[in-house]
Amino acid sequence: MMARTLLLGALTFVSSLTMAATPAPAAKPDLAKGQALSTQVCVACHTADGSRGSPANPILAGQHPEYLVKQLQEFKSGKRNNPVMKGFASALSDEDMKNVAFFYAGKSAKPGFAKDKDLVKLGERIYRGGIADKAVPACAGCHSPNGAGIPAQYPRVGSQHADYTEAQLVAFRSGARANSAQMSTIAARMSDREIKAVSDYIAGLR
């Protein structure tokens, strides 16, 4: 009888340890709170639904939420340098970031289009095939053939403003943006013309 009691006690103890070691399920994002943040905080630069605002600012609609959260965290920490975004991100909790990221991710990005007919062929070659003699890989390898990216790994770039994409590639090349060693290495091998061409081509992907 005592042995049975001891055995039951041991099993209960082990069970309690197992339960304690199991992480609690992550709370679901609150889209209403995310929408409130977008309306109160983000709207001036990114529009209320993250769609096609100023070409100098990124389109957030349809972007992978994990990527958006990562960028907000890196603005807050200073790993990605932008005084304006640091000010906004510093006021957000991790929960706020998740809520607003999932809100924007649930929106559909409006299609864009390439503008420079003289460069679009070069842009397509770089995006789909890279630049072999400069060891620049094809953008499609990470961002997918249609620019949709890979969730939690690589951002959606299709239909992004060409001006914004170009500015980010130039910033990666110069070191002004230093939160992706991979992109810094790639951009460092590209000329102004190549950056402009692939940025314009990306704007028309859908």
Residue 16 in tokens: 């309690």
Amino acid letter for position 105: A
pLDDT truncated to tens, each residue of the chain (206 aa)? 544 544 444 444 444 444 455 555 667 999 999 999 999 999 999 998 999 889 999 999 999 999 999 999 999 999 999 999 999 999 999 999 999 999 999 999 888 999 988 899 999 999 999 999 999 999 999 999 999 999 989 999 999 999 999 999 999 999 999 999 999 999 999 999 999 999 999 999 98
Look at the block and give the residue holding tokens 């679901």: 28
Set out the domains of the chain in order of their start, with CATH numbers: 31-105 (1.10.760.10), 120-203 (1.10.760.10)
Residue 88 to residue 114: CA distance in whole angstroms: 31
For the entire predicted model, the pTM comes to 0.85
User: Quick one: which of 56, 36, 31 has its CA closest to 46?
Assistant: 56
Q: How many helices (H) and strands (E) does the chain have?
A: 11, 0
pLDDT of 14 reads 41
Match 């559909």 to its residue by tokens: 108
